[in-house]
Chains A and B, each alone.
Chain A
Amino acid sequence: MIKAILIFNNHGKPRLIRFYQYFTEDMQQQIIRETFHLVSKRDDNVCNFLEGGSLIGGSDYKLIYRHYATLYFVFCVDSSESELGILDLIQVSCCSFEVFVETLDKCFENVCELDLIFHMDKVHYILQEVVMGGMVLETNMNEIVAQVEVQNRMEKSEGGLSAAPARAVSAVKNMNLPEIPRNINIGDINIKVPSLSPF
């Protein structure tokens, strides 16, 4: 099982944290600090696994991490996961994110820290397609990207309205609140159906 996914930069600033086991906020921050401490002092060409820190389950746990430019991606897992499998999963998640970034008409070659920060919610959603409740949900990148694209389309169709100036939005909403969302939803479903044909 994956206990936690931590992404932080070279200075230890967290960029995304996800815990699949309950820890108090204080504990979460301590774990981030400890993990950063363990990972950051390692050279780049050493192996990508190390025994877990003292805080998250002790020596039965491993930290599996990748270091990209300014970011560390760390998965904290127990012995039931394949080390190389998880390592590739990190790669898959990153690739999916890159694909997502490209869909925004941006040209970044690598996962970039700024993208992560400004699309924090998106990173969460992509990760959510890959890992669920600490278990690997989907490993097929095309599938993951397809899911995220469906979400984006839904967002665009819903957000078309809210991206307009807020005053206009509330004006429209106040005018005819019950009808508008319903119409949009119907349109939305019509678009979706062909892409999810097995339904």
Chain B
Amino acid sequence: MPAVSKGDGMRGLAVFISDIRNCKSKEAEVKRINKELANIRSKFKGDKALDGYSKKKYVCKLLFIFLLGHDIDFGHMEAVNLLSSNKYTEKQIGYLFISVLVNSNSDLIRLINNAIKNDLASRNPAFMNLALHCIANVGSREMAEAFAAEVPRILVAGDSMDGVKQSAALCLLRLNRTSPDLVPMGEWTARVVHLLNDQHLGVVTAATSLIITLAQKSPDDFKTSASLAVTRLSRIVTSASIDLQDYTYYFVAAPWLSVKLLRLLQCYPPPEDTALRSRLTECLETILNKAQEPPKSKKVQHSNARNAVLLEAIALIIHHDSEPTLLVRACNQLGQFLQHRETNLRYLALESMCSLASSEFSHEAVKTHMETVIGALKTERDVSVRQRAVDLLYAMCDRSNARQIVAEMLGYLETADYSIREEIVLKVAILAEKYAVDYSWYVDTILNLIRIAGDYVSEEVWYRVIQIVINRDDVQGYAAKTVFEALQAPACHESLVKVGGYILGEFGNLIAGDPRSSPLVQFNLLHSKFHLCSVPTRALLLSAYIKFINLFPEVKATIQDVLRSDSQLRNADVELQQRAVEYLRLSCIASADILATVLEEMPPFPERESSILAKLKKKKGSGKLPENVNGSAELHAEEPAAANKASPPPPTEVLALNPTPPAAAHSLLVDVFSDLSAPTAVAEDHLSRFICKNNGVLYESQLLQVGLKSEFRQNLGRIYVFYGNKTASSFLSFSSWVSSSDVLKTQLNVHAKAVEPVIEGGAQVQQVLNIECVTDFSDVPVLNVQFRPQQEVQKIFKAQHPMETDAAKAKLLGFGVALLEGVDPNPANFVGAGIIHSKSAQVGCLLRLEPNTHAQMYRLTLRTSRDSVSQRLCQLLSEQF
């Protein structure tokens, strides 16, 4: 028993600990602890006042019991009493107990605060330090309230000792983090910045930590700290180590301080002052140079400290992202580390290369290390390092190396650790999509992904592959063929069955010509998986079957038999049963035409950000996803133009895809008003869809949907235009007409029949256009639509007062609406919005006032969610201008 020391007393404690250690079983330990707890409790409750030493001993025992994982529900009061002892050691143990055991919402906090207050005022540096430590460690709101004013005062007071200043800086930092609203900035800001010039390097280190946090919150207030930091850093980096007190650590000058200063500089852009800037560049170069020098010591501490500074300097270079030479040097340095024998360095090099890869200056330089990184993926023994390698491969991927990187990642996936598989799957899926040159490669990759790591393929991944296949007709045939082949495997992952069911249901006809994949073979193949699948997959397969009936009338009878079987029609699952019943009925009673309409091929999905990317971001936390520089721009260029077409009710609802979010509020406002005055412009790409089709949706907004159905015979055509009112109230003064350019008029005759001027809420009206093609034409006729939603009221009136912008503005503001700047394309117009609150309901109001100074007239438009309110407001306001 070497440790039962005689020197520092507390023999009882040592005996107790030895007892616990000698316990043979958990039960014996608990028994011993309970005995001790009872003993301490009785001592604390006893009549005899305990002396400080005993209290100290018992508190120590309680701490030990707590450490072993037992709850301590008493002794707090005794610890608080120790705080007011004037013996340092008793005070110290009291504070220790409180920092470890008292949580921020304890009832004792007032008593504790009182003791802290006394110690802060004691002018005894040892006591002050204990008190500051306690504030920082507990960091509760009550403490912040009590000491937020006092701590900064201690920090900047001229007579505070260095050690106290150090503690005060960190204490203030902690309070600022936990309750930033309570820590007033202001008068002490400048003096805190000035601490960077302090003689004592410990104080400078603590102050730098504080300033980093403060500068992140309000960079402008601490702007001057950047230049001081550069000066300080340059003194450390270039100094002989003698003047650094004891802050030289294994031959490296003040490494921790250097790291902090470099961190602080990462809060700011590169200095604008050229002298300062070149001084900083010089520092960074010196740090990079030092890395090339032979080490001054073989000890690992020396290289650790040196590299900590180096890596932070590289982080700063990446942050500035403005000096191509430095960036490339940094990249080369990290490249050396990639092959270093220290695992830690390899890990850190991979990590910081990730951010280097997103700089345009160094992206190419990073790519030169691809082989090494791939090697790391294969040979590293440490999963943490391999994970960093995956991150880096993801970050350095672009079109030129996508195939290789994706292939390597897929290869790695077969043996990857379970903990990181899902992430790799997401990354592969994203890269495959982003850099797919031909989509057959994309389909292959995703199917491979499902084959290798099916359990880790989330729903988003297979939703996405289906979206892409549906939207790109060049890959549909290939996709059908590939899934068909993949499904041949005796054991398929369920995700593959889902993809297979969906794709064959849509595009099975494209491969039905081959007798090896005839309709019946396809169906039998799918159905052989049916019984192994979960309910949602089975539901999807049933939908695929009904689609088969439409695609291949020859298998109708077989499928009807399947649907009719008891296991479907009387399935215990309501969803499956309902599908079976409905699909069976549908296949029996519907004519081929109806079936073809109901089970039409899925329309293209609206383009949107890949949900996989969103998932990866969520998984990695917002800041951590390395950006891939070459990503989004290319992606947009190659995607087909946004398709805003409304899908007919999809026969298979399994693809629960969120609709695109509606436009932001104020663009809605513009839209609303432009419906009224300006003719609606239809984007060209909506039109292009009708080149190969005769019906579909031409235009859709929040209010109105315009659909087309057309038929042509020789030179004559008839187009039915359907106008659907999507709102709940009627459209008034609805009119639509076709206008053509003068040239077009001679080439194409268009005759439009008039429509009813009113469209009820939710109703649809039809307009017939008769068209005669006189000769070939290239221009397009324009369909103009005009209407007024019912809740809208408009009035044109003569100005009764001088037409001054400011006066009008003041009146509108006085009326109680908020004026929206920059919403109306005409800056002279006023656009406002507001809400009228009543007990029963809230009425939203939109308002537009258009002055016409030439005519001395105003046009006032009001729209609210209630007709009567619109009328009344318009009436009231029209008399005011």
* Interface set of A (CB-CB < 8 Å, partner B): 1, 13-18, 20, 22, 24-25, 29, 32, 42-43, 45-51, 58-60, 79-80, 82-85, 87-89, 91-92, 104, 106, 114-115, 117-118, 120-121, 124-125, 128, 132-143, 147, 150-151, 154-155, 158-159, 162-163, 166, 169-170, 173, 181, 185, 188, 196, 198-199
Contacts and interface: CB of A to CB of B under 8 A. Distances in A.
B137 A132 contact: yes
Contact of A46 (B103, B382, B620): B382
A49 B384 contact: yes
Contact of B87 (A1, A114, A181): A181
A46 B343 contact: yes
Contacts of A163: 8-9
A163 B3 CA distance: 17
Contact of B2 (A80, A114, A132): A114
A154 B30 CA distance: 35
Candidate in B255, B307, B382 with the most chain A CB atoms within 10 angstroms: B382
B361 interface: no
Contacts of B5: 104, 118
B770 interface: no
Given A104-B7, A181-B86, A85 B384 contact: no
Contacts of B201: 140
Interface in B145-193: 161-163, 166-167, 170-171, 173-174, 177
Contact of B51 (A137, A142, A150, A170): A170
B6 to A, nearest CB: 8
Interface stretch (B245-253, B526-534, B722-730, B850-858): B245-253
A79 B174 CA distance: 17
Contacts of A51: 384, 387
Which of under 10, 10 to 19, 20 to 34, or 35 or more describes the interface residues of B?
35 or more
Contacts of B4: 118
A159 B133 contact: no
A150 B161 CA distance: 15
Candidate in A89, A140, A151 with the most chain B CB atoms within 10 angstroms: A140
A11 B620 CA distance: 31
Contacts of A87: 304, 344
Interface of B is mostly: helix
Contacts of A139: 202, 205, 247, 249, 255-257
A154 B88 contact: yes
B3 A140 contact: no
A46 B171 CA distance: 36
Interface stretch (B63-71, B398-406, B495-503): B63-71
A14 B67 contact: yes
B205 A133 contact: no
A88 B51 contact: no
Interface string B245-274: 111010000011101000100000000000
B209 interface: yes
A174 to B, nearest CB: 10
Given A121-B93, A140-B246, 20 more contacts: A14-B68, A17-B67, A29-B69, A32-B69, A45-B343, A47-B343, A59-B621, A60-B621, A60-B624, A79-B623, A80-B263, A82-B312, A87-B304, A88-B249, A124-B96, A135-B136, A139-B205, A140-B247, A141-B246, A158-B89
A84 B96 CA distance: 28
A137 B136 CA distance: 11
B259 A82 contact: yes
Nearest to A8: B67
B346 A47 contact: yes
Interface in B375-404: 381-382, 384-385, 387
Contact of A140 (B139, B167, B202, B343): B202
Nearest to A114: B3
A51 B620 CA distance: 11
Given A117-B3, A199-B161, A151 B87 contact: no
B615 to A, nearest CB: 14
B55 to A, nearest CB: 11
Contacts of B104: 22
B288 interface: no
B301 interface: yes
A18 B99 CA distance: 9
Nearest to A105: B7
Given A118-B3, A124-B96, A84 B87 contact: no
A169 B133 contact: no
Contact of B136 (A58, A133, A140): A133
A155 B2 contact: no
A196 B125 contact: yes
Contact of B88 (A43, A59, A132, A151): A151
B708 interface: no
Nearest to B88: A154
Given A14-B68, A84-B307, A181-B87, A137 B259 contact: no
Given A47-B347, A159-B8, A118 B166 contact: no
B296 interface: no
B159 to A, nearest CB: 9
A166 B135 CA distance: 34
Contacts of B624: 59-60
Interface in B603-628: 619-621, 623-624
A137 B204 CA distance: 11
Nearest to A24: B103
B136 A132 contact: yes
A166 B55 CA distance: 13
Contact of A50 (B60, B136, B384): B384
A47 B344 contact: yes
Interface in B113-156: 125-126, 132-133, 135-137, 139
Nearest to B252: A88
Contacts of A15: 67
B63 A88 contact: no
B48 to A, nearest CB: 9
Contacts of A115: 3
A92 to B, nearest CB: 8
A15 B255 CA distance: 29
Interface in B224-249: 245-247, 249
B308 A84 contact: yes
Contacts of B469: none
Contact of A198 (B53, B66, B162, B256): B162
17 contacts: A14-B67, A17-B100, A45-B381, A49-B348, A82-B308, A87-B304, A114-B2, A117-B21, A133-B173, A135-B209, A136-B205, A137-B206, A139-B202, A139-B205, A163-B8, A196-B125, A196-B161
